[in-house]
Amino acid sequence: MLNLRQLSIVDRVIIEVDKAITTVFGQPETTQREVPGSHLNETTSLTSSEKKHSAGLMRVNHSGEVSAQALYQGQALTAKLPEIRQAMEQAALEENDHLVWCEQRLITLSSHRSVLNPIWYAGSFAIGAVAGKIGDKWSLGFVAETEKQVVKHLDEHLQQLSPSDIKSRAVLEQMREDEGHHRSMALDAGGAELPIPVKILMSITSKVMTKTSYWI
């Protein structure tokens, strides 16, 4: 694993730009886990409106994973404790699984990822870097609150999915389990409870991303 403190500023910028390009446009590194629901047969009973809605939901989740990836990378860059940095990097790797799974569903549903992903990545990376710079306990608290809100969104999406879309459901259920684990990891590592105004701002930002990524 690279020690970022031993790298020059130019090296670190190149590494982060490469990660950003790979996340937004390419094929990121994953844990090589099996795609949830890969053993299930693709249903042919989805109506055109159900298929379009599933695609919109998966596009939102894909954008959410782009943001999560950026958040973890930003925090790993500025985290002070090595063990916190390592935990962030492992979580980022698992988020890459989600990123690939969502994109595969989008392709199967004959749809596309959001064109706004570069914006979500840049904004989330900046927030993560600032949070990490402020202090590990606040950085971890930010992760815990983010994952809490993500789980809430996933619960809503699972309710909205057509019962026939069993493959998308399998993906979202595994994502929900992973996000809950990431939240527990952040809290167990000493994540602090965020102030109410920060939580509200995070919720508003999340809703903006959700509404726009569903369509664009």
162 is a domain residue: yes
CATH number for position 112: 1.20.1260.10
Q: pLDDT tens, 93-102?
A: 777 889 889 9
152 is a domain residue: yes
Half-sphere exposure of residue 55, counting CA atoms within 13 Å on the CB side? Answer: 18
Number of domains the chain is built from: 1
- 147 labeled binding residue: yes
95 is a domain residue: yes
Q: Distances from the Cα of 151 to the Cαs of 18, 109, 130, 175, 203, in angstroms?
A: 29, 23, 23, 9, 13
Q: pLDDT tens, 19-58?
A: 777 777 777 777 778 888 888 887 777 888 999 999 999 9
- 182 labeled binding residue: yes
Q: How far apart are CA 28 and CA 95, in angstroms?
A: 10
Judge whether residue 119 has pLDDT over 50: yes
- 95 labeled binding residue: yes
192 is a domain residue: yes
97 is a domain residue: yes
3 is a domain residue: no
H or E element in which residue 197 lies = helix 196-215
- 179 labeled binding residue: yes
- 83 labeled binding residue: no
148: containing domain = 47-215
- 145 labeled binding residue: no
Task: State both tokens at 30.
Answer: 């994953």
Q: pLDDT tens, 142-181?
A: 888 888 888 999 999 999 999 999 999 999 999 999 889 8
pTM of the model: 0.82
Q: How far apart are CA 207 and CA 202, in angstroms?
A: 9
Span 96-115, mean pLDDT?
Answer: 90
